Amino acid sequence: MSKIAEVKAMVEAGKAKLVPGLVQEALDAGNAAGDILAGMIDSMGVVGDKFSAGELFVPEMLMAAKAMSKGVDVLKPHLTGESATSLGTCVIGTVAGDLHDIGKNLVAMMLESVGFNVVDLGVDVSAEKFVDAVRENDNVKIVACSGLLTTTMPAMKETVQSLKNSGLTGFKVIVGGAPVSQAMADEIGADGFAPDAGGAAVKAKELAHA
């Protein structure tokens, strides 16, 4: 079994203690950090499908998430570069009612690596909290909203609308997460969408310069 296949199997099995060592071994064997990350993201897809099929439950899903997070910690220095320039501040969070944060954390990491000062509000963030963060932080150029549940899409819409109606200016709003699409982003009035963390960084840079 290849090292990446071993990492994937252990993420799926939720082996948080084993994953960091295996990720390091995969790096040492010459695998690119991006390929190892893609493998772990695949594993989360498998876990989600098994959850849908009733083959595993929330505790197993949580263990897989913990295992992936530990693996990402090892990859972090290999995925991000030091950026000398500052593109301004990016406020990021997962919208109200939603506790999923792996994708949001990856997006935050990539935004930081391209030169944003990232203010991470965490998960289950209300629309008011997003607006307060824009008011309270200097030079906010981007607000990034993450959401993984179809049931929290109304909260994402409310967040975008609250930000747009706040009277505050100088920033753009980007949205993302598995159920989000460009069409949905357009419909709720967001300025940008990207399907993954790398795309989020590209889109944020483009909008911050616009």
Nearer to ligand B12, 16 or 175 (CB): 175
Q: CA-to-CA distance for 129 and 162, rounded, in angstroms?
A: 10
Shortest separation between residue 24's beta carbon and ligand B12, angstroms: 20
Query: Based on CB atoms, which residue is closest to ligand B12, 30 or 77?
Result: 77
Is residue 9 involved in binding ligand B12 (CB under 6 A)? no
Q: Which stretch binds ligand B12 (CB under 6 A): 12-20, 27-35, 54-62, 162-170?
A: 54-62
Q: In whole angstroms, how close is the CB of 84 to ligand B12 at the nearest point? A: 24
Does 44 engage in binding with ligand B12 (CB under 6 A)? yes
Site size with ligand B12, rule: CB under 6 A: 38
Site for ligand B12 in 107-166 (CB under 6 A): 107, 144-146, 148-151
Task: Give CA–CA dist 157/140, Å, rounded.
Answer: 20
51 contributes a contact to ligand B12 by CB under 6 A? yes
| Contact with ligand B12 (CB under 6 A) among 16, 131, 197, 208 | 197
**90: nearest Cα among 72, 123, 113:** 113
Q: What is the 3-state secondary structure (H, E, C) of the chain?
A: CCHHHHHHHHHHCCCCCCHHHHHHHHHHCCCCHHHHHHHHHHHHHHHHHHHHCCCCCHHHHHHHHHHHHHHHHHHHHHHCCCCCCCCEEEEEEEECCCCCCHHHHHHHHHHHHCCEEEEECCCCECHHHHHHHHHHCCCEEEEEEECCCHHHHHHHHHHHHHHHCCCCCCCEEEEECCCCCHHHHHHCCCCEECCCHHHHHHHHHHHHHC
The 81-110 contact track toward ligand B12, x by CB under 6 A, reads ----------------xxxxxxxx-xx---
Q: Does 196 bind ligand B12 (CB under 6 A)?
A: yes
Q: Which is nearer to ligand B12, 98 or 112 (CB)?
A: 98
Residues making contact with ligand B12 (CB under 6 A) = 41, 44-45, 47-48, 51-52, 58, 61-62, 65, 97-104, 106-107, 144-146, 148-151, 174-179, 194, 196-197, 200
